[in-house]
């Protein structure tokens, strides 16, 4: 298999570009690491300082420069510029300390970056497809230089993090997601394409913003969006037949509808639905190791009933079915509560997915009343309502359960239903807690708790690596349950004793690769691979990983 993202050829092979163009192409630029022989042969002499440096020396300079930045948004801008200038060095920096740089490249800094996307914009870094280009989608998509795209992360910017509809400003998300495919799981970057489908925005403030880069019109109708997206899907299948579509941050109703439409037709998945479901299931598996409970015995109450809640609920149902429950019995153990109260038979205007979780209950708009009635063992917040899990909510869960499982998953930080410190303090250290952002360690009564982050980056890069390797035809829910099991298995007893529900982020590459190997094996088991199964799947996956290192000196003849 061709190694994407390694454009510099072997020694003696002519370069396809020459001179200063080498320095302006992020995939070929080695900057001060070009040898003198390369500089002479490729027309670079005089275009660089005299010193010839190693990649490690360049890394040290970048880390020094990053330390001089005053804020994470400034560090984000620096890293994006570095990615534009020197792809290898960018990934080398990120790989040097993933726990430090993931929160800068993605949550929580990406929220601020998206809000300021028009102001900090430098290069496009992907395809911007306007709904005004209907009828020409294939032509527009074919302008992308890579002709063997394996994963497209596509968004309409309709529901970005906890920010809502930010239109074309949402492009920061597909760019960041795919960078984490490579940074966290070694997926070769050349086969990854960020796409923003610009269908307008309902955000009047953005439409009036002089720096806004998208269409200054209201969002297209559902019928127009579906027609536009169908043309896009057909173009992808024709141009990139091995490509998987990763849906990201679509408006909830669009996300659910389009996933249902395409999941059995093409290789696709929705990270907000299936990725979220998978990472939360992994956290639940490990929380149950702490509480000594069984999945099929749990009662789950969601605060929030959008696509994320539905995705998690559906994944929990699939996992419960694997443990012997019927689908109906599994669904009965899951209840949804939104801004209009508990979802019960008298509620109207429910989506088909929400209706699957309607159970006989007295109507209530108070979360405490719902807790008293349902007696949940697990409380999951996906509401983007900051502070919704107040002290009385956590105390109510603690009275019902010796070890309550409380996940406050909304992000960014100010949208979290509660903090880790609050969950531990109000439960007297009894809660098994996970957040949607990485909270710092909490000291309580002489013990230090290390809260986990139920962030999808534990799942989707591994999923991308497995799909890239196997050239999977589909991405069914079974792959996401398998990913959850593989992820959960990587937290040891000592970690669980500290409250850790997810592996340390510093080990993210090893964690993702192990998860990807498990998923790849499941792809082969289900008969969904387009390639033959190798004798050693783990070794084979390792051989495909992108490594942030410069190619050997390439001397061209012109």
Active site residues: 106, 177
Rounded Cα distance, 321 and 327, in Å: 6
Three-state SS for 169-205 is HHHHHHHHHHHHHHHHHCCCHHHEEEEEEECCCCCHH
Rounded Cα distance, 550 and 38, in Å: 13
Rounded Cα distance, 380 and 130, in Å: 36
Q: What are the DSSP calls for 434-482, one per residue? A: EESS-PPPEEETTEEE--EE--GGGTHHHHHHHHHHHT-S---HHHHHH
The answer to whether residues 100 and 67 touch, using CB atoms and an 8 Å cutoff, is no
Q: Spell out where 321-377 has E strands.
A: 334-338, 341-342
What are the helix and strand counts (H, E) for the chain? 25, 14
In degrees, to the nearest 5, what angle opens at C-alpha 422 toward C-alphas 417 and 426?
115
Rounded Cα distance, 86 and 25, in Å: 8
Rounded Cα distance, 255 and 184, in Å: 25
Rounded Cα distance, 363 and 369, in Å: 9
The three-state secondary structure class of 234 is helix
Tell me whether the omega of the peptide bond preceding residue 412 falls within 30 degrees of 0, making it cis. yes
The answer to whether residues 29 and 23 touch, using CB atoms and an 8 Å cutoff, is yes
Beta-strand relationship, 334-338 and 300-303: parallel
Q: How crowded is the C-beta side of 187, counted as CA atoms within 13 Å?
A: 31
The answer to whether residues 378 and 301 touch, using CB atoms and an 8 Å cutoff, is yes
Tell me whether the omega of the peptide bond preceding residue 525 falls within 30 degrees of 0, making it cis. no
For residue 507, give Cα distances in angstroms to 63, 181, 503, 504, 511. Answer: 19, 15, 7, 6, 6
Rounded Cα distance, 379 and 172, in Å: 31
Q: Which two tokens stand for residue 476?
A: 């069914």
Q: Spell out where 214-328 has E strands.
A: 244-247, 268-270, 300-303
Q: Which two tokens stand for residue 364?
A: 């209530």
| CB neighbour class for 489 (10 Å; exposed up to 12, middle 13-18, buried from 19) | middle
Q: Which two tokens stand for residue 481?
A: 């349950």
For residue 401, give Cα distances in angstroms to 392, 445, 448, 524. Answer: 14, 20, 22, 41
């Amino acid at each position: 298999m061709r190694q994407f993202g390694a454009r510099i050829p072997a020694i003696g092979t002519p370069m396809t570009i020459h001179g200063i163009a080498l320095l302006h192409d992020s995939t070929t630029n080695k900057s001060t690491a070009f040898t003198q022989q390369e500089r002479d042969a490729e027309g670079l002499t005089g275009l660089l300082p005299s010193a010839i440096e190693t990649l490690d020396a360049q890394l040290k300079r970048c880390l020094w420069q990053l330390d001089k930045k005053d804020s994470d948004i400034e560090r984000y801008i620096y890293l994006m510029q570095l990615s534009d200038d020197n792809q290898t060095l960018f990934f080398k920096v990120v790989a040097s300390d993933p726990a430090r740089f993931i929160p800068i490249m993605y949550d929580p800094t990406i929220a601020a970056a998206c809000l300021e996307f028009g102001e900090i914009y430098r290069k496009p870094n992907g395809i911007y497809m306007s709904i005004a280009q209907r009828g020409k989608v294939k032509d527009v998509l074919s302008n992308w230089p890579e002709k063997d795209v394996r994963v497209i992360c596509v968004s309409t910017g309709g529901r970005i993090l906890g920010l809502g509809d930010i239109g074309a400003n949402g492009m920061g998300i597909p760019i960041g997601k795919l960078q984490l495919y490579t940074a966290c799981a070694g997926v070769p970057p050349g086969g990854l394409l960020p796409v923003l489908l610009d269908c307008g925005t309902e955000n009047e403030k953005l439409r009036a913003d002089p720096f806004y880069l998208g269409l200054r019109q209201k969002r297209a109708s559902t019928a127009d969006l579906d027609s536009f997206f169908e043309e896009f899907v057909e173009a992808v299948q024709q141009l990139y037949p091995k490509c998987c579509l990763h849906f990201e941050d679509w408006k909830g109703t669009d996300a659910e509808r389009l996933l249902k439409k395409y999941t059995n037709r093409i290789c696709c998945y929705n990270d907000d639905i299936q990725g979220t479901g998978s990472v939360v299931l992994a956290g639940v598996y490990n929380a149950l190791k702490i509480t000594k409970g069984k999945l099929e015995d749990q009662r789950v109450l969601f605060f929030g009933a959008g696509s994320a809640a539905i995705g998690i609920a559906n994944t929990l149902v699939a996992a419960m079915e694997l443990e012997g429950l019927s689908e109906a019995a599994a669904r009965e153990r899951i209840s949804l509560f939104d801004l209009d109260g508990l979802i019960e038979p008298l509620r109207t205007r429910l989506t088909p997915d929400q209706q699957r979780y309607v159970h006989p209950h007295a109507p209530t708009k108070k979360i405490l009343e719902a807790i008293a009635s349902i007696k949940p063992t697990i409380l999951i917040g996906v509401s983007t309502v900051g502070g919704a899990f107040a002290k009385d909510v956590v105390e109510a869960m603690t009275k019902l359960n010796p070890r309550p499982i409380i996940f406050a998953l909304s992000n960014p930080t100010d949208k979290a239903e509660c903090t880790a410190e609050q969950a531990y303090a109000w439960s007297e250290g009894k809660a098994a807690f996970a957040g949607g952002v990485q909270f710092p360690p909490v000291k309580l009564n002489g013990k230090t708790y290390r809260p986990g982050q139920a962030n999808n980056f534990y799942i989707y890069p591994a999923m991308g690596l497995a799909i890239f390797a196997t050239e999977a035809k589909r991405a069914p829910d079974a792959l996401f349950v398998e990913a959850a099991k593989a992820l959960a298995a990587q937290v040891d007893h000592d970690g669980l004793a500290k409250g850790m529900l997810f592996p340390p982020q510093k080990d993210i590459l090893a964690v993702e690769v192990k998860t990807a190997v498990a998923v790849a094996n499941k792809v082969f088991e289900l008969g969904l691979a387009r390639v033959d199964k190798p004798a050693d799947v783990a070794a084979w996956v390792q051989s495909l990983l992108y490594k942030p290192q410069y190619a050997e000196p390439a001397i061209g003849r012109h």
